[in-house]
Amino acid sequence: AQKVTQAQTEISVVEKEDVTLDCVYETRDTTYYLFWYKQPPSGELVFLIRRNSFDEQNEISGRYSWNFQKSTSSFNFTITASQVVDSAVYFCALSGAGANSKLTFGKGITLSVRP
Amino acid sequence: IAGITQAPTSQILAAGRRMTLRCTQDMRHNAMYWYRQDLGLGLRLIHYSNTAGTTGKGEVPDGYSVSRANTDDFPLTLASAVPSQTSVYFCASSDGNRYNEQFFGPGTRLTVL
């Protein structure tokens, strides 16, 4: 069975601080995919990134970076120089390989960025 | 291109009533999904459909039914709503490739009194 754990439930930071959102996963699959989604106060779910299990390169996109470590089964998300617009709920998710694999979501982390 | 639309946006419903949440996608995706989102529980899969004409049960299917008569539409029906079905419901779709990247609708906020 697959499982995604986001141990942090709520994080509050002051604008311009760096913040890391943790994600730990469990799977028996050798090939799998990891995702992060953002849910701003407006409610929609926004896809941020997909990572393949066979590619452990870290990825940076502007102020966002992701650290994937298979050795610790973690896929952490860092926001550098946080902004008020980063305030949202962030979900980590896991999918097996194959066309009909299902997404398993973590419970989400509520990030509040104060001005 | 609208992507995925859901209707209604929100609804207040008396317990025991029947309700159908609508979901339509225009991306010609094979797979579609229904999730419910509850505070502290994240998103949980209710039902899914890998392709038109097929459906399957997710993690929390009880009290819900779905149908997939064509590629675009995937309605979710609550035959007799109960207060525990108060939630935000998200429909999603995927083109069924190996990545299973899912695209989500805007959600329906349902309150059952």
Q: Tokens 């902004």 sit at which residue?
A: A83
Put simply, the answer to whether B102 touches A103 (Cβ < 8 Å) is yes
The per-residue pLDDT for B41 is 87
- Distance CA(B51)–CA(B94), nearest Å, equals 10
Q: How far is B73 from chain A (nearest CA, A)?
A: 18
> What residues in B contact A96, CB-CB < 8 Å?
100
- Distance CA(B47)–CA(B49), nearest Å, equals 7
pLDDT tens profile A42-82: 999 999 998 888 887 788 889 999 999 999 999 999 999 99
The amino acid at B56: G
Interior angle at CA A53, CA A51 and CA A59, nearest 5: 35
The per-residue pLDDT for B1 is 56
- Tell me which residue of A84, A5, A90 sits closest to A45, measured CA to CA: A90
The amino acid at A64: Y
Q: How far is B6 from chain A (nearest CA, A)?
A: 12
Rg, chain A, Cα only: 14
Q: Tokens 């870290």 sit at which residue?
A: A58
> What residues in A contact B10, CB-CB < 8 Å?
none
Residues in B whose CB is inside 8 Å of some CB of A read 30-31, 33, 40-45, 48, 50, 58, 88, 90, 92, 96-104, 106-107
Q: How far is A87 from chain B (nearest CA, A)?
A: 17
pLDDT tens, chain B, 113 aa long? 579 999 999 999 999 999 999 999 999 999 999 999 998 888 999 999 999 999 999 999 999 999 999 999 999 999 999 999 999 999 999 886 656 788 999 999 999 99
pLDDT tens profile A77-112: 999 999 999 999 999 999 987 767 788 999 999 999
Put simply, the answer to whether B104 touches A45 (Cβ < 8 Å) is yes
Contact B54, B70 (CB under 8 A): no
- Token pair recorded at residue B113: 């009194």
Contact A109, A7 (CB under 8 A): no
Neighbour count for residue B3 (Cβ, 10 Å):
14
Contact A34, A94 (CB under 8 A): yes
Cβ–Cβ pairs < 8 A, chains A and B: 58
- Distance CA(A5)–CA(B20), nearest Å, equals 32
The per-residue pLDDT for B4 is 94
How far is the CA of B72 from the CAs of A91, B30, B36, B75, in angstroms? 26, 9, 20, 10
- Token pair recorded at residue A28: 């028996």
Which of A43, A47, A91 is closest, CB to CB, to B101?
A47
Q: How far is A108 from chain B (nearest CA, A)?
A: 6
Which of B88, B92, B100 is closest, CB to CB, to A33?
B100
